[in-house]
Amino acid sequence: AVGRNDEGKNSDEALNSYGEDEKQTMNGDPASSETNSLGSNEIIHAPAVMPSFPGEKNALEKYLQKHLSCSQFRQSAGSGGKLILSFIVSAEGNIYGVEILKDDVGFGCAEEAVRLLEGMPKWNAGMNNNHPVNVKLVLPIEMETTGK
C-alpha cells in the first residue's frame, strides 16, 4: 500500500527525521530565504508540533495513492519496492528541498514522487514555542505491483 512503512504505520505516522540532529540551517538551498516567524532559517527535526498535510488523518496517504502515477512499475512482475524521500516543510507550509534517499523501485518512480511532493498543496506548518518553524521530514513510500 502506498504510504505504509515497515511497521504498518501510515504515511502521516511514519514521517520522521531518522535520528538526525534536532537543528540545521538551510545553507546552500535556493529556498533558504524561507524563514520562520522569528526570522530564523533553522531547520528543526523534532518540533513540539509536527507539520501536517491538510485534511483528515490519512489525507497524505490518499493524496499519494491518487496522484503518484508509476504505471510501468505497477504493471511489472516484481513484488514491490520502497521509495524514501526527505523534504522540508517551511514555516509558511511550502515544500522544498526534496531528496531521494532510497529508490529500489526504478522506472522513474522516485523522480515522479519528487515532482509530486514539490507540487503538493501547502502543509500546516510545524510549531515550536507557539511559532511556525521549518521542519525536515522523511517519507517512506511502499509501492506495490499489480503483476502481469
Q: What is the pLDDT of residues 38-93, one digit of tens each?
A: 456 889 889 999 999 999 889 999 998 888 877 666 555 566 788 999 999 999 99
pTM of the model as a whole:
0.71
Count other C-beta atoms under 10 Å from residue 16's C-beta. Answer: 17
Q: Are 67 and 141 in contact (CB under 8 A)?
A: no
| pLDDT per position as a tens digit, 132-146 | 999 999 999 988 766
- Ramachandran area for residue 43 (φ above 0: left; ψ -120 to 50: alpha; else beta): beta
